[in-house]
Amino acid sequence: MIRLSAISLITLLFLTTGISAQTSHIKGVVQDDKKNPVAYANIYIEGTIDGTSSEEDGSFILETTAKGTVTLKASFVGYKTYSITEDISKLNNLTIVLKEDLTNLKEVVISAGNYQLKGTNMEKTNAVELVTTAGSEGDLYKSIALLPGMQIGGTDGKLQVRGGSSHESQTYIDEMHVMKAYTSMPANTGSRSVFSPFIFETINFSTGGYSSEYSQSLSSVLPLYTKDESPVTKTGVSLTSVGAGSGGTKAWNKGSVSFEMNYTNLAPYSKLLFPSEKPEWDKYYQGLQASNQIRLELGDKTYLKTFFSYNKTAFKKKETGLFDNIQRGTDFDEDNLYLNSTFNKKFKSGVNYFAGAAFSWNRQDIKNAKVLNDAFKSNETELHLKTKASKRYSSLYKLGAGMESLIKGYEITYKSDGDIDRKVNHSINGLFVTNDFNLTYNLLLNVSSRLEYTTLDKSWAVLPRIALNYNIKDITLSGAIGKYQQTTDNDYLIYNEHLAQENTTQYVLSAQNAITQFRVFRIEAYYKKYNKLTTLHNGVYQSGGDGYSKGVDLLYKDGIITGKGQMFEYMLGYSFNDSKRKYLDYPEKVTPPYLTKHNASIVLKYSNQKLKSIFGLTNRFAGGRPYNDPNKEGTMNSKTPVYNTLDFSWTILAHKKLIIYASASNILGRDNIYGYNYNPVPTAQGKYESKPVKMYQKQFFFIGFFISLSGKAAYDVSSF
């Protein structure tokens, strides 16, 4: 359930504190071509984890255990990366001059609706942030859920973005779509990502206004990118309170292969901390996760990569009917597989070419799924084929174009009093074009469009999108308008395969003031108009629903370096959302039961190099969720109590090859309520009895030990 092998990347904060006595010091200053100091530039030695940042005056001191000839690099947003290869003894009193790069600025500029959680320029810092933030529990989606624009996760723990359901958020790995990105869990237990966040070199997240290259998402996309090269050979193991794992990388000239395997079993954890739960389980939750990646450098700037992931999940939990007291044991078994292969080449002409194929497969076998002695089986597949090319013709213009197909199949069988056997097969085919204009150094424009054909309703759609960025000193102003569409959920499509594509038109405006690497203020407003939502009337699914979602997101983050290896960071986030939609069997427009109007989070982090520790504390708040009380008049006429949880984490570099991580969620033990279930049969007095919907376990405690078996660094197996 918890996979935190990536925790090891926190060593980036510690390995410069003198773990090894044989250290060298590289000193220098970073300037631009006008001899102005460049503060907070990243300076690091390629192929190692040794790095630092420049001070306000541009100066830096980098401690390293490397010897001999090394490649030193320096980078900062908007500048070309500086590189020098020299014997380490000669790298002293350096003057590094960074030259402006208009092309690079265009590629990394923050646009409306987009967060870059981890990327080339901020990789070392943000890798640490994702894991050591309290409340994230080392999970990719839980880390993202702390950002403004996110709803506080419900009992399933999946991403819900700006008024949209979790179905409206899609994940991509190396540009290829992932059909099922979450683990399956027992009822009222939060799901987790099936992928470790540190498999990826770059993690982008868009809450809206994204390019026409991405389809089949009404709210957000999460593009994840793996490394093209992994030159360090390493192995390691982990032992945690919920399981064990192992993995590593074997590198050779122009290639590498990486693997990771984790086994989770909640039996020891649950029996020790929650012994009263034992009668509820016939078989505790168990999961097996395996990942593998092969990277080959076929030539200059030519890469072939294959990524594979497999997850096996099984549990048998006793369930008692809420009001009839009939006991049934839900017996769940699932296989989830994902495989992609991608080819990238940059030609000397400047053309970037990409081709990829991805296959997803998910099988579920559930006994006693809804009632005693029933049986549910499902089989879902997806084949994604994609090719694209782009070229920057000048510093002012870049053109991109591509095509793709999503070939999907879904089949279910359900055996009970009345047997059901249904299947649906269809495809989604698209052409897309993107145009990037650097109108001036400060004014950037993206115009893109997508032509899409869906076989379900035999429809064509033109989906135009436009985004504009304008920089005024430290302030970036952004705006985006776009139209998006998505196939409705399989649970409805299986009963009417001719349902139309649901669609939204999105409007996003944002302003961001990035004063330093640490201090950022951001405000963003948005409006989404929904059409052709799925409705249910007289037992028939149709496409007659509509709705809207509008709101404002606020973000402020800052960091204070107190000296002597100490640092204090904090982030304040707030989201306001007003959303209503007419969908499913609701007779009128309602606020969906998974939404809360107000969401806020306070994230604190304290790092102390002397103690070799990072302490994290996160407090999250949310307004009440709407629900329908049949004892009152109207629809969605009540709200749950306010949500609040306080989470804590502590990370320790106990030894240069051992990391200990401990976390506790909801440490105050608050009983958060997500809604109410009502007895469909009233009492003799005409009242409908209710029971609250809560998390199966309101608290979770975790401790893990991560051990390196090779190399000089602490365990970082998942950092493929």
Instruction: Give the phi and the psi of residue 517 in degrees, each rounded to 5.
Output: -60, -30
Q: How far, rounded to the nearest angstrom, does the alpha carbon of residue 696 sit from its chain's CA centroid?
A: 24
Task: Give the up-direction half-sphere exposure of residue 22: CA atoms within 13 A in the CB hemisphere.
Answer: 4
CB 157 within 8 A of CB 181: no
Q: What is the DSSP string of 295-363?
A: EEEEETTEEEEEEEEEEEEEEEEEEE-TTT--EEEEEEEEEEEEEEEEEEEE-TTSEEEEEEEEEEEEE
Closest CA to 247 of 483, 6, 538: 6
CB atoms within 10 A of CB 168: 23
Could you write out the three-class secondary structure of 514-548? ECCCCCEEEEEEEEEEEEEEEEEECCEEEEEEEEE
Residue 636 to residue 646: CA distance in whole angstroms: 29
Question: Is the sign of the CA dihedral 604, 49, 308, 306 positive or negative?
Answer: positive
Whether 608 has a pLDDT exceeding 80, the answer reads yes
CB 122 within 8 A of CB 212: no
Query: pLDDT tens digit string along 579-603?
Result: 999 999 998 999 999 999 999 999 9
Cα–Cα–Cα angle for 180, 184, 187, rounded to 5 degrees: 135
Query: pLDDT tens digit string along 52-84?
Result: 878 878 898 888 878 888 889 888 766 788 999
Mean pLDDT, residues 12-25 taken together:
48
- Where are any strands of DSSP class E within 637-699? 638-639, 643-655, 658-665, 675-678, 690-693
Residue 585's identity, in one-letter code, is D
Residue 10 to residue 17: CA distance in whole angstroms: 13
Residue 627, classed as helix, strand or coil, is: strand
Confidence of residue 485 (pLDDT cuts 50, 70, 90): very high
Residue 42 to residue 201: CA distance in whole angstroms: 16
Question: Is the sign of the CA dihedral 670, 675, 678, 683 positive or negative?
Answer: positive
Whether 192 has a pLDDT exceeding 80, the answer reads yes
What pLDDT sits at residue 33? 83
Q: How far, rounded to the nearest angstrom, does the alpha carbon of residue 665 sit from its chain's CA centroid?
A: 19
Whether 116 has a pLDDT exceeding 70, the answer reads no
Residue 464 to residue 318: CA distance in whole angstroms: 50
Which tokens sit at 68?
Answer: 């001999």
What pLDDT sits at residue 22? 60
Mean pLDDT, residues 1-24 taken together:
42
Residue 702 to residue 647: CA distance in whole angstroms: 12
Residue entry with tokens 């939502």: 533
Instruction: Please list the residues that pair with 612 across neighbouring strands.
Output: none
Q: Compare 7 and 546 and report the one with higher pLDDT.
A: 546
Q: How far, rounded to the nearest angstrom, does the alpha carbon of residue 364 sit from its chain's CA centroid?
A: 24
Residue entry with tokens 């009152």: 632
Residue 525 to residue 697: CA distance in whole angstroms: 35
Task: Give the up-direction half-sphere exposure of residue 178: CA atoms within 13 A in the CB hemisphere.
Answer: 25
Which tokens sit at 261?
Answer: 């395997």
Confidence of residue 533 (pLDDT cuts 50, 70, 90): very high
Residue 605 to residue 562: CA distance in whole angstroms: 13
Burial of 32-42, coded b for 16+ CB within 10 Å and e otherwise, reads beeeeebbbbb
Closest CA to 652 of 3, 6, 8: 8
Q: Which domains does the chain have, with CATH numbers?
A: 108-708 (2.40.170.20)
Residue 559 to residue 604: CA distance in whole angstroms: 10
What pLDDT sits at residue 278? 67
